[in-house]
Copies of this chain bind each other. A is one copy, B any other.
Amino acid sequence: MSRKLKTGVIGLGRIGQIHLSNLVHHMPNAEVIIASDLSTESHAFAHKLGVSQVTTDAYDVINHPDVEAVVICSPTPFHVPYTVAAAEQKKHVFCEKPLDVTIDAIQAAEKAVNENGVKLMLGFNRRFDANFSNVRHLVEAHKIGDPHILRITSRDPAPPPVEYLKVSGGIFLDMSIHDFDMARYIVGSEVKEVFVKGDALIHPEIKAFGDIDTAVIVLTFENGAIGVIDNSRKAVYGYDQRLEIFGSKGMAKAENNTTDTLIHFDSSGGHSSLPLHFFLERYETAYRVCLKSFIDCVLNDTPSPVDAHDGLMATAIGIAAMKSLTEGRIVRMDEVLELAQMS
């Protein structure tokens, strides 16, 4: 009979609660030994789900002798320190995105993981959305031929508060990073160059601290494909997550999801429903499939489907994007990656 992976969860904020709940309800081959959160308020949530050990100290999770794998949902600055500590304790790591906002830190995590022979998987959950993964399967099956043009539309229903934006790391590392990972995943090739055109069209005040809310990002891939991402922090009609890949043998696109399939016709025309509200609704299943993939890769000792290199590249593209926006020019990924190597 299949054994159960013994896990510990660090961080019980919004995403941590999703992962904890999925572990308890939907992962028959996992069990939760212990969970941690600085705030004791969230401890009740874990207790209610039947998690008997709850702590305020993340290291209680990392060092727990029974824990085989940790699920890190803490704020970003703690991702690498916890990953390194867990790796040194020979624990496998599932970590929320981004792994870090600097390349050096990501490389430190990668090194710790490799040296300790544990698995690291990053929570790029959108790869596990059926719309997008099925597009990827068509590309892998050569149904699209050589990829020529990739288009990603990724728009949030409403921007976070300006206070949050100030500490968010900027639109590229906070929001577009998902799209950077998606671009690499769909095209199946590394990004070579980045060009960005962007502006603060929704909240002009955020330009004061160097951020924007509307962006068009052009990616050039090593296999020749050209990608375009368009981002907005505010689509009044709701969360908009679409993509399209065009190649020598055809095209595949994933349309947005809506709350229902209703169409209402009256004398003014046809009327259809709004998109699923936001990422919690849209990616509810993807979060589950994503975490399940982690547990499976640990139990079956298969490669992590989203590893440290994936985390490094997504962050590096984000850094290149910011550089392109600031300097108004094409930025080669070399520039960003070499700089990191020199440091």
- The answer to whether A269 and B265 touch across the interface, beta carbons within 8 angstroms, is no
CA–CA, A202 and B264, complex, Å: 20
Q: Besides the contacts A151-B151, A255-B261, A328-B330, what 5 more A-B pairs have beta carbons closer than 8 Å?
A: A134-B260, A216-B218, A230-B246, A269-B271, A270-B272
CA–CA, A254 and B270, complex, Å: 13
Q: Does A41 contact B (CB under 8 A)?
A: no
- The answer to whether A267 and B236 touch across the interface, beta carbons within 8 angstroms, is yes
- The answer to whether B270 and A248 touch across the interface, beta carbons within 8 angstroms, is no
Q: Does A44 contact B (CB under 8 A)?
A: no
Q: Given B50, B216, B234, B261, which contacts A257 in the complex, CB threshold below 8 Å?
A: B261
The segment from A193-201, A304-312, A333-341 found at the interface with B is A193-201
Given the interface contacts A197-B195, A199-B224, A226-B214, does A264 sit within 8 Å of B329 by beta carbon? no
The segment from A53-61, A117-125, A142-150 found at the interface with B is A142-150
- The answer to whether B267 and A250 touch across the interface, beta carbons within 8 angstroms, is yes
Within 8 A of B (CB), among A259-310: 259-274
Q: Which residues of B contact A264 (CB under 8 A)?
A: 138, 143, 250-252
| 29 cross-chain CB contacts under 8 A | A25-B25, A50-B50, A130-B259, A134-B259, A134-B260, A143-B264, A143-B266, A145-B236, A148-B202, A148-B214, A149-B214, A149-B230, A149-B232, A151-B153, A155-B246, A197-B218, A201-B224, A216-B218, A237-B267, A237-B269, A251-B264, A252-B262, A252-B263, A255-B262, A257-B261, A267-B274, A269-B273, A329-B329, A329-B330
- The answer to whether A249 and B266 touch across the interface, beta carbons within 8 angstroms, is yes
Q: Which residues of B contact A272 (CB under 8 A)?
A: 263, 269-272
- The answer to whether B246 and A253 touch across the interface, beta carbons within 8 angstroms, is no
Within 8 A of B (CB), among A188-209: 193, 195, 197-199, 201-202
Closest to A149 in B: B230
CA–CA, A151 and B240, complex, Å: 14
Number of interface residues, chain A, beta carbon within 8 A: 68
Q: Does A177 contact B (CB under 8 A)?
A: no
Q: Which residues of B contact A131 (CB under 8 A)?
A: 260-262
- The answer to whether B216 and A226 touch across the interface, beta carbons within 8 angstroms, is yes
CA–CA, A153 and B237, complex, Å: 22
Closest to A252 in B: B264
Q: Which residues of B contact A237 (CB under 8 A)?
A: 250-251, 265-267, 269-270
Residues in chain A within 8 A of chain B (CB atoms): 25, 50, 130-131, 134-135, 138, 143, 145-146, 148-149, 151, 153, 155, 193, 195, 197-199, 201-202, 214-216, 218, 220, 224, 226, 228, 230, 232, 234-237, 240, 246, 248-274, 328-330
Closest to A200 in B: B224
Q: Which residues of B contact A193 (CB under 8 A)?
A: 197
CA–CA, A305 and B125, complex, Å: 37
